[in-house]
Structure 1
Amino acid sequence: MTKTLLLALFISTILLTSCSTTKTQFGETVIENTADTSLSKQAILKIRSLNNDIFDSATFVGKEQIEIKYRLFKPNQLKTKEKYPLVVIYHSSGRPVGTDNKSQLGILQKLFASPDIQNKYPAYVLAPQFPTRSSDYVMDTSRNVLYSTPRSCLNSVLSLIDTLKLNLNIDTKRIYVIGFSMGGSTVINSLSARPELFAAGISISGIPQFDKIQDLATTPIWLIHGIDDTENPINSDEQFYREMSKNIRYWKLKATTHDNVFTTQILGETLPKWLFKQRKK
């Protein structure tokens, strides 16, 4: 048996094992970090090796007069009479913020645009680049945790999504949002600002927003956070999960810091398989 085949079988075993311990869509689960770091790095390198040119490049200016550079991946062999999901993916502050319109294309953006995922989950993938931070963090003295507040550039991106809805064959019942770090925080900001727009969201290592929790009661949300994260401490997500009444999935990754959250346990089909099950009623 070749080394390549052995590697593929091992990664598949890890993914199946992690999924078998989390059969329910919602609820809290502590995940053992059993993934081999070298395998995770190889999987990440494969995804990141995808050419940026698979994404179209464009610019949008909304009523806030903030210029948003963005990349858009369109499903291969689009059928004119068929509607497709839209996956909006927010970058971290370290990708970084800016206007080069390429730095935002990280592991999540390319994962959802990769041939393996698109073959099973064809979708538009929107990767906006924020010219400044999209979310700021403030201490909530009553809860004793950090919370996030959105900046005005998020409103521009939400306007961009509305414009794309009018011009592309997007299934408006299947618009999703996902992000990491600052982008994970902006996921919760987006859901809080426009709960009617999104079918579901995945926040990875983010800081949540607490003042619109009642508006999120029917929105499926998946929180993923490393227990040993010192950059964006997990206690904010802990509090958010406690205050949310339902429709929330919470993965706590053992022995996982902010920078090593992307192991084989959440690569592959793990994220899209859950996300694409969700649909607006």
Structure 2
Amino acid sequence: MKKIILTTCILFSVLFLNAQDLKKYDKGSYIKGKDSIYYRILFPENFNPDQKYPIIFFLHGSGERGNDNASQLVHGGKLFLKNDLRKNFPAIVVFPQCPSNDFWANANFEKDAKGKRRISFVEGGKPTKIMHALQGMVKNFLNKPYINKEQVYVGGLSMGAMGTYELLRRERRKFAAAIAICGGDNTNNIKKYQKIPLWIFHGAKDDVVDPVFSIAIAERLKTVGDEVKFTLYPNANHNSWDSAFAEPELLPWLFSHKK
């Protein structure tokens, strides 16, 4: 009984500490005209508004959509709180949140005769409502005097990786590098962001977003792009972000790029 109580206390302590850590992300919003988007933002330790810092926008997956301005930190939020990373790569980190009824990218979802979900991506087209707001938010941040415009990055997982590709092609001149985990795009859109260094990740056993999407993008970029890295985890399913976040070179690679 004592062991159960002790284990329960430790569990609650860990959960409490994790929640406390995530509170280091301040709450914010961008509202202009018909555009509105809520986000969480992490400033560097000892932030000095007279200095210029890199900035990374991280886009969450479909499971973290909502209006609580919290769920988007579930995957990736702790990564940027690691002491060594905060010390070695002082940067501003922004986690915007997509509403439940919207989607970062222009993607279509259908089910085949066997009930399996199939995804297709739009070539070109107008941005979704939340993507339009995201574009406005990015432009707004880049007007801040403490942002280093030579070091602007974007990354995302699943739906967020799809949004990453879409944001890159719509705002390609703004970004120095990007990471995309278990996402996808119409390969005809690649020409819009082929000059941007990109590290793509996917799980070979992914049964939610077919790894063929990432494979196709990586193979195409290898023939026309400036720099592309592709990591396929042979035993990972959809949660390949766990492996990607554990890559020791992930953030050093990302922050090494400048426009």
Deviation at 1:192, TM superposition (A): 0.9
Could you tell me whether the CA contact under 8 Å between 1:148 and 1:189 is conserved in 2? Answer: no
Number of residues of Structure 1 aligned to a counterpart in Structure 2: 229
Could you tell me whether the CA contact under 8 Å between 1:62 and 1:160 is conserved in 2? Answer: no
Q: Secondary structure at the match of 1:241?
A: helix
> In the alignment, does 2:256 pair up with 1:277?
yes
- Greater RCO, CA 8 A, separation 6+: 1
Mean CA deviation greater in 205-214 or 121-130: 205-214
Q: Which residue does the alignment assign to 1:115? A: 83
C-alpha separation in 2, matches of 1:262 and 1:50: 21
C-alpha separation in 2, matches of 1:87 and 1:243: 25
- Equivalent in 141, 148, 151 of residue 121 of structure 2: 148
C-alpha separation in 1, matches of 2:84 and 2:137: 27
Q: Which residue does the alignment assign to 1:125? A: 93
Unaligned segments of structure 1, at least 5 residues: 1-44, 140-144
Describe the superposition over 1:187-209 as per-residue Cα deviations: whole angstroms up to 9, x where unpaired: 11110111101111100011123
C-alpha separation in 2, matches of 1:47 and 1:106: 14
- Equivalent in 97, 102, 106 of residue 70 of structure 2: 102
1:104 partner amino acid:
Q
Change (3 A) 1:240 1:147: farther
1:78 partner amino acid:
F
C-alpha separation in 1, matches of 2:240 and 2:216: 23
- TM-score normalised per structure 2: 0.80
Q: Secondary structure at the match of 2:143?
A: helix
C-alpha separation in 2, matches of 1:154 and 1:76: 30
Percentage identity across paired residues of the two chains: 24
Describe the superposition over 1:28-70 as per-residue Cα deviations: whole angstroms up to 9, x where unpaired: xxxxxxxxxxxxxxxxx8995552220111121234x132111
Q: Which residue does the alignment assign to 2:36? A: 67
C-alpha separation in 2, matches of 1:261 and 1:203: 9
Deviation at 1:261, TM superposition (A): 4.2
Question: Cα RMSD between the aligned structures?
Answer: 2.4
Q: Which residue does the alignment assign to 1:259? A: 239
> In the alignment, does 2:180 pair up with 1:203?
yes
C-alpha separation in 2, matches of 1:155 and 1:224: 26
C-alpha separation in 1, matches of 2:17 and 2:129: 31
C-alpha separation in 1, matches of 2:84 and 2:145: 23
C-alpha separation in 1, matches of 2:245 and 2:39: 25
Q: Secondary structure at the match of 1:211?
A: helix
C-alpha separation in 2, matches of 1:237 and 1:67: 30
C-alpha separation in 1, matches of 2:159 and 2:211: 14
Could you tell me whether the CA contact under 8 Å between 1:189 and 1:209 is conserved in 2? Answer: no
Q: Which residue does the alignment assign to 1:213? A: 190
Could you tell me whether the CA contact under 8 Å between 1:101 and 1:129 is conserved in 2? Answer: yes
> In the alignment, does 2:134 pair up with 1:164?
no
Unaligned segments of structure 2, at least 5 residues: 1-14, 110-117
Q: Secondary structure at the match of 2:62?
A: coil
Q: Which residue does the alignment assign to 2:167? A: 190
Deviation at 1:114, TM superposition (A): 3.0
Could you tell me whether the CA contact under 8 Å between 1:48 and 1:107 is conserved in 2? Answer: no
For 1:212-231, what aligned pairs fall within 5 Å after superposition? Answer: 212-231=189-208
Q: Which residue does the alignment assign to 1:34? A: none
Q: Secondary structure at the match of 1:222?
A: strand
Deviation at 1:274, TM superposition (A): 0.8
- TM-score normalised per structure 1: 0.74
